[in-house]
Amino acid sequence: MPAKLSFKPLTASTWKDFEALFEAKGAPKYCWCMAWRDFNNRQASSSAQRKQAMHERVKERVPVGLLAYEAGEPVGWCSVAPRDTLMKMSPDQDEEETGVWSIVCFYIPRARRGEGLSEKLLEAAVKLAFKRGAKAIEGYPVARTSPSYRFMGFLPLFKRHGFRQTGRAGSRRHVVRKTKR
């Protein structure tokens, strides 16, 4: 289990920490967590364009996610944001429904995997979304055996944290939801 962790939303003041985490060896600097966010020329955009698009959202104070810290250093990331700031995540999604937040990505450096960071990131993401007014939170995890979309988390993780399955998003991703009590 990791040492004492703290969590901070990605804001202008934590941007440099996000950069450090995403620019480290093996990090997803090719996507900058923009895979599910719409922006101009999304499909053909470069890494630098994706980074700039994320930075613009942060400067505009659009909620995009939170960082995990240990001893003041960023050690993990979870994308948690209002669902209406993302692309349509499921064919069954009711786009008229308001107050839904989505968890679409986790990033933990390879050397830190298996320490329980995803559990703590999920707990912090749920707390943050409800604190900021979410009525419900959705996730789109896969089975542990899935060959793709593993960055979206695994189904057992979400189930352990009280999410219930409500549907499917494609052939691999499950749609899970947790509502505010």
Q: Tens digits of per-residue pLDDT, 50-64?
A: 999 999 999 999 999
Q: Which residues pair with 81 in a beta bridge?
A: 102
User: What percent of the chain has a predicted confidence (pLDDT) above 70?
Assistant: 98
* Angle subtended at Cα 105 by Cα 16 and Cα 30, rounded to the nearest 5 degrees: 60
pTM, whole model, 2 decimals?
A: 0.94
Residue 56 dihedral angles phi and psi, to the nearest 5°: -60, -45
Q: In which region does residue 100 sit, left (phi positive, over 0), alpha (psi from -120 to 50) or beta (all else)?
A: beta
Q: How confident is the model at residue 156 (pLDDT cuts 50, 70, 90)?
A: very high
> What sections of the chain are H helices per DSSP?
15-23, 47-59, 117-131, 155-160
pLDDT in tens, 113-146: 999 999 999 999 999 999 999 999 999 999 989 9
Question: What residues form DSSP beta bridges with 175?
Answer: 167
- The closest of 159, 178, 176 to 167, measured between CA atoms, is 176
> In this structure, what CATH number is given to the domain that contains residue 133?
3.40.630.30
- Please check the confidence at residue 159 and state whether its pLDDT lies above 90: yes
Q: What's the number of domains the chain is made of? A: 1
Share of residues in the chain with pLDDT > 90 (%): 85
Q: Which two tokens stand for residue 144?
A: 């542990």
> Which domain does 105 fall in, by range?
5-179
Structure-token match 């786009």, residue found: 95
β-bridge pairing 73-82 and 136-139? unpaired
Q: Give the Cα separation of 27 and 75 in Å (integer).
A: 11
Mean pLDDT of the chain: 94
Give residue 53's pLDDT.
Answer: 95
- Tokens found for residue 96: 């008229």
